[in-house]
Amino acid sequence: MGFNTYTSTFTENEDGSSTYTINMSDVTTKCMKIDSTDPKEWIDNAIDNKSRIVGERVYKLELDRHLENGTMPSNPTKGTLLLAYEIPVVTETE
């Protein structure tokens, strides 16, 4: 095991939200502080950027799909279209 250690947990809540907890060792905390004056801000920014990029991509896919199929729901919002998106199931091939 390296010097950089942490544990994390991800729990999906019944309402569709989630809780993500990170416990960083003293060395990992120090490394994060060396790279970023505020590690929480860095982590928040990473989550915000990733979810924004994916959200815009999936929103466009859903919008195009509904327009092509004539299935646009009434009063759609980005949020409702994203929540209605079905995540593809990945299966192993033998």
Q: Reduce the secondary structure of 10-33 to three states and give it as a string.
A: EEECCCCCEEEEEEECHHHHHHHH
For the entire predicted model, the pTM comes to: 0.80
Given a cut of 90, whether residue 4 has pLDDT beyond it is no
> Percentage of the chain with pLDDT > 70?
98
Q: Could you report the per-residue pLDDT of 24-48, keeping only the tens digit for each?
A: 999 999 999 999 999 999 999 999 9
Question: Does the structure show a pLDDT above 80 at 1?
Answer: no
Whether 62 has a pLDDT exceeding 80, the answer reads yes
Specify the DSSP element, H or E, that contains 9: strand 6-12
